[in-house]
Structure 1
Amino acid sequence: MSVETSRARASVITNIIGEIVQQCAVRGHVVTDTLVAFMVKAVVLDPRNGFNVDQTLTKQDVQKLEELCLDKLMDQCSPSLDTIKMQMYFDMNYTSRREFLEEVHRMAESRPSAVSREITDSRVKTQEESDALYRKIVTYIQLRSGMGSPTDGNALHEAAAALQSVFPQAELGAFMVLLKRDKEKQLNELTMIVTGVRLFNKAGKKGGEETDLRELMPAALHEVLPVTSKSVENELSVSQTVAWKYTALLEKLDRDSRDVPVVLLKQALYNVRQHEVFLKMLLSDACLCAKHVEILQTELSSQMKLLKETVQSQTAVLTTKVFPLFRSLSQLWSGLQDEAELLNILNNILHNLRPFVASQANMFSEAYLDGLLEASEVKTDDQRMMESSDECIVPAEMKTQEWLLPETTASFNELPLQYNGVCGYTLVNRDGLLLPGNPHIGVLQHKEKLYVFSSKEAAMKFASSPDEFIAEVAEKAKHSPELIQLLKLHQELSCVSPYSEIQPGESLSVKPATRCESGTQTDVHPVETNIVKSYEWSEWELRRKAIKLADIRTKMTHSVQTDMSHMRRENVSQTWLPKNAACQSKRDGESNVPKPQVYLAGLRGQRDGRVVKIDLTRPVDE
């Protein structure tokens, strides 16, 4: 597909989404571009609607697409639409604990940013300006520490008294000559020390009595800690009970079908199952927060005891001893505040999920479900697990497939299961019924993905032709788009992205990116396939050749060729140079004579003196 074609299709889709959003607004419904973009893709993917994503949409196709999307978006009693909205809300607002805490820290730092800017940019000239600046520092510390409201007079008085003990107003002059970066650093340092001092003072109000840690905890933590986990557990219990009833009713209707809206019952089942998945994630985070709070409380108690032992009844203590303890108290207090904010976020998400399960509750009341169930047994997920726990796959029976068993697999309970732990065979064979799989039966590993099943029979049949069942599950998801998120089928349906990644203008037909494991290896000593004999690495040799070529340019070559010499090879001859010859006698003979030595006497001291010559050569016969 060319770039121009892709841009044209993206422009068409953008116009369709804009038109649908406008039509919904005219009819009194406010919808987001993300919701409309997902709905457009879901309608196009549904084979019952007859769209072809590989062809350009005609005017009639666009009109039909808009009408179908509007009908789905305007449905007032649609558990399917509520499930999609719930998935979209959760995907947009929920993230990891680390990212939640990063956002909490950003908000905490931005809250006193205006006061911090006024402090670091101020220029003090008079006593009134100095007093105003000191009050601003107290306000900044109060905002940053979170120990009370900045409008609370008692809290401000406590902060001012603690600040005065570690940073008197007389030291403002030294503070003002600092650079802006150093001022901000000192403000944060003062905030931590003052917070630690206030916590210590608050703990010491009872004199020698043991301080109750709950009095030192942030007020927000007192409110949300005991409430959040219980609220999530209660709602999770309600959702699970309703899901078990829907499952039992759908199983019964397979055998005895009446005039019951089976399609709406399945949509309601998907709705409460998705709500259950989200509640389990919130409950896991809430329990983790409770554990962190308990750890922080223990550390806070030990640090407070250590600080009391350090200070005791002394009138003066070295700052190098107590200031690190004050900072440690402040950090633990900030950790408790972070947990309180995180619990508050989880509580808000829990509250905002409730409207998305209201339609199915209004449509199928408990009395209505109980009347349809009559005397049928409602099994819990744990009961279904217990019933199938005796069944176990014997790998020798299915040698063509690879099975993971709890006895032979490490971290068996932490395996990333496909379809969110739902049995794929039951989903296909029983027309969309969701039953949880039991990993203890055996986990099928097929193409690096793991599948669980509700019974041994389901596992054997799925393993006999897994690719066909995987394709059937994807087809079921095209009919019920809420299953894409519930069963985590974004890889199987690559053209449908998670809600947080959907772009309103992207094309309908996004080809999946083919990925595979690959590797490369080079030989230790590769063999050269093309060796250039004339290659020269020496710079001086290259210069010599260049000079030679430059000299050849001034020469002229004459040559003559005859018919006989045409296309004949050149003849060459080679001669062998004579080798060096030498002879040697048996014994070397030699003679030695004495070295002549002559001494001349009388050469010095006398002008007319007589020179005497003395022969000192040794005789030959010696």
Structure 2
Amino acid sequence: MDDHRYHDGCIRNIVKEIMRECNAKKIHVNKNFVLFLTQMLLLDPNWGIDENFFQQRENVQCFVKYVIEKIICKQDSVKVVTLRMQFYFTCSIQNLQYIIDITRMDIKNRLKVLHDDILAHDKVDNRQNIDTLYKKIIYYICFLSGLGNPEVFRVFEEVRVALKSIISDEDLKDFANKSKNEKCIQLEYFMKIVSGIRLFNKYCDKGGQGITNLPYLVAQSLDVLKEKSEDSISFIAKKVNLLVIAVKKSYSFQSSYRSYKMCLQNTLRFNESLRLPDIHYMQNLLVFFKQYEMLVKRIEVHLDVIFNRCDSTLNEIEDLMKTIYDTVYMKIGVLAEIVFPLFEKLWLFWEKFQNETFVIARLNEIMIELFAFSKLTGFHKFDITVTPTHESALSIDNVSVNIISFNPEIKVIRNCISQYKLQYLGFCCWMLVETDGGLIPGNTKMGIVKYHGRYYAFSCYEAYYMFYKNPSMYVNGVLELGRRHPELINLFHLQQDLQKCSNTKKLMKAKLEIKNREDKQIETEDSQESYIDPNYKWNVWDLKREVLIQTNLLRCKTLSTQTIKTNSQNNIRTQTYNTEKAVACQTPQDITTQVPKPSVFLHGLRSRKDDKQWKIDLTLFEDDKECLS
């Protein structure tokens, strides 16, 4: 318990430091949002922040810098918008009872002056003072109960008659003489009884001026809000389906030795202009819209609960009306001890209806705010064009393959799948880990898997095969993913699992890439030099002709002859002479020019009181120089 308190104190100190840095940089941020964010990020023990807070200043400074630069300063990024939406919805939906209490308190605060005036009114010695006190109580009852406007004469008269039926002038004098605490209790009691009487009169068509048909308005509001939520879900479903197809087409299977993995494609099949940041943006956008869909569905659940409560309350009001009617019908007088508790109970039932209107109004505000968050993502500015295809976004493989298991820890279920609650909202955990947060729905037609009491769906057989080889690795891989992407913690409800492993820094071992080797033989062609034989003869008859000629040579004689010597060697002397010749060349003559030097005199700058000054040009040109010389 002490460690838990110390950890909370550590978080509060970190939040204070973050807020101090934000104020210094003039960054406006909600302190509760910073607390919400810090609690989720510190589920990762790799930050190195634990109960030894003061000995880990460097880690704390790194954490504060990360929160400010990567999250708070990027309020419009899709991941931060998702976190802000989660924080807003968590604070709003968990405090619905607080909304009722604060609304009631606000009404009482608005009536505080009138309430204090009634408590301070202690003089009822004449008729005027009695009527004044009656009027103040009537106004207070009308405003506090919300049953009509006392400025309307018929409403005022109806409340006055109902009030005088439960309190006489003498009782009013006794009321004025009581202490303030007793007056507060008595005034609250008057309001309940008078309101109950007026509600019963409306039921009997004998009064109820200014009282709206609240059950009808509540039912109509529920129908409108239900229709609005269904339209929102339909809008979100189209976006989710489009993004799922886009993310799915951004990756392709790559098989290696007895394993598979997902890799980004070099060129996207549906849009070649998209790059890696755009793919990450689509994945984050898919997380946002899926979270948006889940929150709207939670609002629908609250609407169904309100509808059932209102229906039950309306039945109770009908039964109570009949009970009161049977109690007072055809009777001149009824004991107050019998009928007043019934009127008080009737008002309490009506008050429940009023409280439901406060909740419905709050849920409508939440719906409007969630839609405003969707605009901050900039989805309408991001163009995703996917070619129509017969493939469904709900499965990565159209062929239904039955998965089997020989592992006693893994059980395959194929029947009554809808009654099981799937982990990760039915998304494939293998795809989550392989694509670093890509939401690809599982294909339940193959069956689902039960592992350690939890149920998992897979998008294809390859995903199941990899999970089957090492299920704990991919379960821990999703937790590791939640540490890096805090927006997934609330989406997949990972907080309890992350708290259990808060002392383990590494949940998933790094994969060892197996290098495939294969023996191959390569044969090259012989590169011989080309040569053409000039004596080559392709005709056989030419060869025969040569053979005949050489055969005839055998019959010939060999004779030798000698000629007279006709050449001799003679010495011949030659002499050279110097052929050098002096040659000169001349370059053009250098000629220079001189421009006149500008000279200007400003006359009248000194010893003059008027504004007559003028400029005299004293520049001498070449002609002027010759004249002067």
State TM-score, norm by structure 1: 0.64
Specify the alignment match of 1:413 in structure 2: 419
Partners of 2:455 and 2:311 in 1: CA distance: 37
Task: Kindly state the Cα deviation for residue 469 of structure 1 after the two structures are TM-superposed.
Answer: 0.8
Specify the alignment match of 2:484 in structure 1: 479
Specify the alignment match of 2:84 in structure 1: 85
Q: 1:441 to 1:447 in 2, by over 3 A?
A: same
Q: 1:197 to 1:467 in 2, by over 3 A?
A: same
2:36 maps to 1:32: no
Give the letter aligned to residue 32 of structure 1: N
Specify the alignment match of 2:507 in structure 1: none
Give the letter aligned to residue 189 of structure 1: Y
SS of structure 2 residue aligned to 1:200: helix
Specify the alignment match of 1:573 in structure 2: none
Alignment of 1:94-493 (within 5 A): 94-95=93-94, 115-116=114-115, 118-120=117-119, 122-127=121-126, 128-149=128-149, 154-176=154-176, 182-205=182-205, 216-217=213-214, 221=218, 224-255=221-252, 257=268, 258-260=272-274, 261-308=278-325, 310-312=327-329, 316-319=333-336, 322-364=339-381, 368-369=383-384, 372-377=385-390, 379=392, 397-401=406-410, 413=419, 415=421, 417-437=422-442, 444-447=449-452, 449-454=454-459, 458-459=463-464, 461-493=466-498
Contact 2:401-2:446 within 8 A present in 1 as well: yes
Contact 1:425-1:453 within 8 A present in 2 as well: yes
Specify the alignment match of 2:264 in structure 1: none
SS of structure 2 residue aligned to 1:123: coil
Rg larger in 1 or in 2? 2
Contact 2:283-2:437 within 8 A present in 1 as well: yes
Q: 1:45 to 1:147 in 2, by over 3 A?
A: closer
Q: 1:61 to 1:349 in 2, by over 3 A?
A: closer
Task: Kindly state the Cα deviation for residue 179 of structure 1 after the two structures are TM-superposed.
Answer: 5.8
Q: 1:175 to 1:64 in 2, by over 3 A?
A: closer
Task: Kindly state the Cα deviation for residue 246 of structure 1 after the two structures are TM-superposed.
Answer: 0.6
Contact 2:15-2:31 within 8 A present in 1 as well: no
Partners of 1:340 and 1:14 in 2: CA distance: 36
Partners of 1:129 and 1:299 in 2: CA distance: 41
SS of structure 2 residue aligned to 1:493: helix
Contact 1:418-1:488 within 8 A present in 2 as well: no
Partners of 1:480 and 1:12 in 2: CA distance: 23
What value does the CA root-mean-square deviation take over the aligned residues?
4.5
Contact 1:229-1:283 within 8 A present in 2 as well: yes
Contact 1:310-1:322 within 8 A present in 2 as well: yes
SS of structure 2 residue aligned to 1:75: coil
Q: 1:202 to 1:8 in 2, by over 3 A?
A: closer
Contact 1:444-1:463 within 8 A present in 2 as well: no
SS of structure 1 residue aligned to 2:496: coil
Contact 2:240-2:289 within 8 A present in 1 as well: yes
Post-superposition Cα deviations, 1:89-137, rounded to whole Å, max 9, x if no partner, equal 1112211766665666666666656655554564335334443333332
Partners of 2:234 and 2:285 in 1: CA distance: 16
SS of structure 2 residue aligned to 1:196: helix
Task: Kindly state the Cα deviation for residue 400 of structure 1 after the two structures are TM-superposed.
Answer: 2.7
Partners of 2:503 and 2:121 in 1: CA distance: 58
Post-superposition Cα deviations, 1:64-108, rounded to whole Å, max 9, x if no partner, equal 953773354333641111111111111122117666656666666
SS of structure 2 residue aligned to 1:232: helix
Q: 1:122 to 1:20 in 2, by over 3 A?
A: same
Give the letter aligned to residue 31 of structure 2: D
Task: Kindly state the Cα deviation for residue 373 of structure 1 after the two structures are TM-superposed.
Answer: 0.5
Post-superposition Cα deviations, 1:245-295, rounded to whole Å, max 9, x if no partner, equal 111111122245233210111111111111111100001111221232233
SS of structure 2 residue aligned to 1:491: helix
Give the letter aligned to residue 343 of structure 1: I
Q: Which moved more, 1:139-148 or 1:9-18?
A: 9-18
Partners of 1:103 and 1:442 in 2: CA distance: 49
Partners of 2:343 and 2:495 in 1: CA distance: 50
Higher relative contact order (CA 8 A, sep 6+): 1
Contact 2:119-2:183 within 8 A present in 1 as well: yes
Task: Kindly state the Cα deviation for residue 348 of structure 1 after the two structures are TM-superposed.
Answer: 1.2
Q: 1:134 to 1:248 in 2, by over 3 A?
A: same
How many positions carry a matched residue from both structures?
A: 478
Give the letter aligned to residue 85 of structure 2: M
SS of structure 1 residue aligned to 2:28: coil
Q: 1:158 to 1:379 in 2, by over 3 A?
A: farther
Specify the alignment match of 2:74 in structure 1: 75
Give the letter aligned to residue 250 of structure 2: L
Give the letter aligned to residue 299 of structure 2: L
Post-superposition Cα deviations, 1:452-486, rounded to whole Å, max 9, x if no partner, equal 44456644542442221122112322332211221
Give the letter aligned to residue 259 of structure 1: S
Q: Which moved more, 1:463-472 or 1:96-105?
A: 96-105
Q: 1:484 to 1:315 in 2, by over 3 A?
A: same
Contact 1:218-1:337 within 8 A present in 2 as well: no
Partners of 2:326 and 2:432 in 1: CA distance: 65
Post-superposition Cα deviations, 1:523-580, rounded to whole Å, max 9, x if no partner, equal xxxxxxxxxxxxxxxxxxxxxxxxxxxxxxxxxxxxxxxxxxxxxxxxxxxxxxxxxx
Q: Which moved more, 1:247-256 or 1:449-458?
A: 449-458
Give the letter aligned to residue 143 of structure 2: L
Q: 1:336 to 1:11 in 2, by over 3 A?
A: closer
Q: Which moved more, 1:83-92 or 1:160-169?
A: 160-169
Partners of 1:166 and 1:8 in 2: CA distance: 56
Partners of 1:201 and 1:244 in 2: CA distance: 55
Contact 1:248-1:376 within 8 A present in 2 as well: no
Where structure 2 has 5 or more consecutive residues not aligned to the other structure, the ranges are: 253-266, 505-629
Task: Kindly state the Cα deviation for residue 239 of structure 1 after the two structures are TM-superposed.
Answer: 1.2
Post-superposition Cα deviations, 1:482-507, rounded to whole Å, max 9, x if no partner, equal 112212222343399xxxxxxxxxxx
Q: Which moved more, 1:372-381 or 1:425-434?
A: 372-381
Task: Kindly state the Cα deviation for residue 176 of structure 1 after the two structures are TM-superposed.
Answer: 4.2
Task: Kindly state the Cα deviation for residue 443 of structure 1 after the two structures are TM-superposed.
Answer: 5.7
Task: Kindly state the Cα deviation for residue 356 of structure 1 after the two structures are TM-superposed.
Answer: 1.2
Task: Kindly state the Cα deviation for residue 347 of structure 1 after the two structures are TM-superposed.
Answer: 0.9
Task: Kindly state the Cα deviation for residue 339 of structure 1 after the two structures are TM-superposed.
Answer: 1.4
Post-superposition Cα deviations, 1:311-352, rounded to whole Å, max 9, x if no partner, equal 456554554554344334323311211211111111111112
Give the letter aligned to residue 196 of structure 1: G
Contact 1:196-1:326 within 8 A present in 2 as well: yes
Give the letter aligned to residue 273 of structure 2: D
Partners of 2:322 and 2:495 in 1: CA distance: 53
Partners of 1:137 and 1:197 in 2: CA distance: 16
State TM-score, norm by structure 2: 0.63
Task: Kindly state the Cα deviation for residue 438 of structure 1 after the two structures are TM-superposed.
Answer: 6.6
Task: Kindly state the Cα deviation for residue 233 of structure 1 after the two structures are TM-superposed.
Answer: 1.6
Q: 1:442 to 1:118 in 2, by over 3 A?
A: farther
